[in-house]
Structure 1
């Protein structure tokens, strides 16, 4: 387990931090930040970050990256959030879909799609969850029917973010219906601009909007099948473990905690906040622990280890912590700060509306606990 960073990582972090402090980046980040239920288009900001070479630093150079270690990508992710950059495009496009292509895509697919993602010129989302299926991907009903050298996908997906802005969807569909709950599933890259794709907003309270995606016989070339036909379930399991580092949830919790502290400090040196001191100490300790858990998963991935148990623990702890921090922090701004709509009050109001979904995305807390329980049950059986 690691508790610090190397000199090279510290130098790299300083370089990233300096680039993100430029007036151009700060202005673009402010324009891309949603508030009061309004979700702006963050793509201009990401095109700027792409020109700075900050989106996919760990990808090989032939795919648009800088060939740096995977842990440096986590350093970038940390500094993006700390600089006020909305992170959903980065999480979905680079950390999830792009990483999935690196893991399971063909060389032709990588060369065709990854460089544009690294430049901030192409964006992607995940199309897994379906109505009434919750987090059980084995219950999906979308069907990909063979047609010529390709397929046509029909089905409905829900709860994806930024979907009205993206070019590609990583879609799970059944290529062999009736083969079994976790058999006969394949993964595809879907062109989200196709006329058969309809994207609509799901009403909600967050500043980022969830979407419903209806796929009506959407054509997908055979070259956009990711991995083997009917071999999607093992890939999904591995991809979800890679996705569940917990870092993105930790960074939200860290930002909301820091914003709450700023709101307390804005009351002036004479303000008394003894009622918050114990809670502040506990949150600080929990955040420190959470950061270690996340980096334990990240360093394992950098060494080629996909530990589903460690990932489930990190995802559970970080998402539950972020939700709890948000519930506490929303009560920190005073009535005056709320009435004046200070920046701190706006951030924490948004956090309170976003936080309930964190324990659902990338697998619910209940699913994470099931993974942990199954791992310990298996360990107990081996000991006997």
Structure 2
């Protein structure tokens, strides 16, 4: 970016926007959008997006993509959210699990799984977090016991999204218990329809439901081990840095901010809303800076640079900003809040209920600050 887009990127963005304006996509997006705690099945929408070739544009052609630059994938992500497409399937399936496979999977694993993900015919989720471990993956207790060349995984995972709809779970488990906090961890692709997998709902206030996944001696083929046995921790560190661009949180904040502005105009179109102008200006400035910050991380990744510090800063800033915007926006009057609610009121109500989890997912704000602190302490030690 720095600090604008190329002509090719602008043409590509226009192409994506045109595709997302079709009546078929708009109708499917409306059907896939949850409200008031009801979570619809968004898979039909994603199958349509897969047919349009919009899910994994940056993947190699042999794995279902279009071979475009990684920055074009960010352009697609922006336009999907701005078109009202619920983004969780895209984030989990393409940006996290699919990207992890592209980075660390074997050629056979890539050919077996990636094309179906790119076509919107298969979906994936992440199985990292555990009830007693929280965001500390070094405290996970799930165990993968060897059975010949294969494994059986036993443990419990929590707070995954869309899990009742997915086919695959990217699961972290210990293959050598007692090896050390960050040693002996391996990563597996788990068939979510395999015997021993039980998915249950965790009660919550959001329109997207969290799930608990109980794994009771679940059979996992040895071919579903990703990377080397006991070598999961370095892969997780790199994958999390790639995941933490901040773009997905920025896009939520942008949508909520724009919706709040629309509600203000609808509430009193002739009013200048002088009492809110200063805060509106501050939010606009913060969002502009956040967008640039996310694209700095993205362009670095496109150039092959994985910068954990920049990623932690982007994730911290964007998730905290989105949470703050949601808390401010819920106070904006929207017509029909008490009776026949408008689309604006539904979006802002949903934002307020979703926002608390943003500073927890993909690493808590406290963890991001620890990464930043450790980086600066390291620089200070080198100077002295």
Same fold (TM over 0.5): yes
Q: Partner residue of 1:332?
A: 332
Other structure's SS at 1:266 match = helix
Taking the aligned partners of 2:261 and 2:277, their CA distance within structure 1 comes to 11
Other structure's SS at 1:378 match = helix
Other structure's SS at 2:154 match = strand
Q: Partner residue of 2:341?
A: 341
Structure 1-normalised TM-score?
A: 0.99
Taking the aligned partners of 2:195 and 2:186, their CA distance within structure 1 comes to 22
Map residues 1-384 of structure 1 onto 2, 5 A cutoff: 2-334=2-334, 336-384=336-384
8 Å Cα contact 1:143-1:155 kept in structure 2:
yes
8 Å Cα contact 2:267-2:333 kept in structure 1:
no
Aligned pairs, how many?
384
Post-superposition Cα deviations, 1:170-223, rounded to whole Å, max 9, x if no partner, equal 000000000000000000000001121000010000000000000000000000
Where structure 1 has 5 or more consecutive residues not aligned to the other structure, the ranges are none
8 Å Cα contact 1:333-1:344 kept in structure 2:
no
Other structure's SS at 2:8 match = helix
Post-superposition Cα deviations, 1:21-71, rounded to whole Å, max 9, x if no partner, equal 000000000000000000000000000000000000000000000000000
1:275 is displaced (CA, Å) by: 1.5
8 Å Cα contact 1:175-1:230 kept in structure 2:
yes
1:336 is displaced (CA, Å) by: 4.6
Comparing 265-274 with 154-163, which one deviates more in the overlay? 265-274
Taking the aligned partners of 2:272 and 2:334, their CA distance within structure 1 comes to 12
Taking the aligned partners of 2:247 and 2:270, their CA distance within structure 1 comes to 36
Post-superposition Cα deviations, 1:100-139, rounded to whole Å, max 9, x if no partner, equal 0000000000000000000000000000000021110000
Other structure's SS at 2:267 match = coil
8 Å Cα contact 1:29-1:45 kept in structure 2:
yes
Other structure's SS at 2:126 match = strand
1:149 is displaced (CA, Å) by: 1.2
8 Å Cα contact 2:184-2:231 kept in structure 1:
yes
Taking the aligned partners of 1:55 and 1:269, their CA distance within structure 2 comes to 38
8 Å Cα contact 1:338-1:345 kept in structure 2:
no
1:270 is displaced (CA, Å) by: 2.2
Other structure's SS at 2:117 match = helix
Structure 2-normalised TM-score?
A: 0.99
Taking the aligned partners of 2:363 and 2:267, their CA distance within structure 1 comes to 39
